[in-house]
């Protein structure tokens, strides 16, 4: 294999495998999604492990955002009830 051939082999994109995401509106849904992604990564179900890791980390960020959003709503309710 010469340099041209090996370079083309490296640059060839891998086929994109679609992943079912679902709603992801609650912490439970996000946890189920993360568990499914981790199982696929461990099983070697196509894709690069780094891609699976990125999906799990993005889901973790989403979970944190949902948590903060929920806390802000609760604080707002407490503040409006305390003033009334």
Q: Which of 22, 16, 20, 25 is nearest to 51 (CA)?
A: 16
Residue 3 pLDDT: 57
Query: pLDDT by residue for the chain (84 residues), tens digit each?
Result: 555 555 555 555 556 677 778 889 999 999 999 999 999 888 887 778 898 999 999 999 999 999 999 999 999 999 999 875
Residue 55 pLDDT: 93
**How far, CA to CA in Å, does 65 sit from each of 23, 51, 58?**
15, 21, 11
Residue 72 pLDDT: 96
Residue 44 pLDDT: 83
Domain coordinates of the chain in residue numbers? 22-83
């Amino acid at each position: 294999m010469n340099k041209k051939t090996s370079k083309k082999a490296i640059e060839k994109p891998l086929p994109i495998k679609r992943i079912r995401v679902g709603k992801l509106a609650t912490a439970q849904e996000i946890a189920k999604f993360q568990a499914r992604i981790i199982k696929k990564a461990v099983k070697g179900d196509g894709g690069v492990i780094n891609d699976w890791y990125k999906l799990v980390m993005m889901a973790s960020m989403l979970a944190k955002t949902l948590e903060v959003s929920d806390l802000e709503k609760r604080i707002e309710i407490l503040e409006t009830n305390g003033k009334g």
